[in-house]
Amino acid sequence: MNEQNVIFFDIDGTLLDHDKNLPNNTRKAIQQLQDKGNIVAIATGRAPFMYETLREELNINTFVSFNGQYVVVNGEVIYKNPLELSSLMELTELGLKHNHPIVYMDHEDMKANVPEHDYINQSIATLKIKQFPTHDPYYYQDREILQSLFFCSEGEEAFYQQQFPSFDFIRWHPVSVDILPKGGSKANGINKAIEALGISKENTYAFGDGLNDLEMLSTVTNSVAMGNAKDEVKNAAKYVTKDVDKNGIEHGLKMVGLL
């Protein structure tokens, strides 16, 4: 059994502050972790192409993307869990009838099924990434779609959840939800990663702040919620640190005895 510790960090609101910047104290804390021989990893809802620069900056080559549906360990893909194609096509058709567009995502790119929509512009803009989904309504054909973004107002996803029990709808923005395979989660992706690494659950840590972190924080042995997290996220974690803008990562690592 590998005796190293592995620490999984969410990105938005955890590694990156509210302005999508990496705080200097967080960068230093990550370097200190690595200098001590720990494995630093990422667990995010983002696609891998959305945070390639961040991985390079922090020298990270183990990561869980798409909320657990795409797992890479030491630069090698070890797990993929794509969405069911027939249900995805049915959801696309039903969404179009209600003016609710969709963005298809694989590990390389993302494409929208409509040329333009205000909800897409609103939500993607908050990520502050260089990529923006272009129009290709047939992008799902002949490729594995690992996650989709579905655009509807808060509460409207309940109707679709009832119609498509093989999917989970996890809200990440007032006008957008992640679509995942039923039961897919960061927690599941992390389990795949630590199994490949040969690391025990006792030596596994996780930091997060969002609703898509609930399973991760309630499952990982040493879990830390950011101070900026919602109460239900804090309640799922073993520890609660300070806000991401108030040295939350460094403080949390000291709380759990890693620094």
| DSSP codes joined into one string, 140-178 | TTTS---EEEE---TTTHHHHHHH-TTEEEEEEETTEEE
Q: How far apart are CA 37 and CA 49, in angstroms?
A: 27
Q: How far apart are CA 130 and CA 53, in angstroms?
A: 11
**Among 35, 41, 36, which Cα is nearest to 9's?**
41
Q: What is the DSSP letter of 85?
A: H
Q: Which residues are catalytic?
A: 10
Helices 248-255 & 24-35 angle (0-180, nearest 10):
30
Instruction: Answer whether 244's CB lies under 8 Å from 236's CB.
Output: no
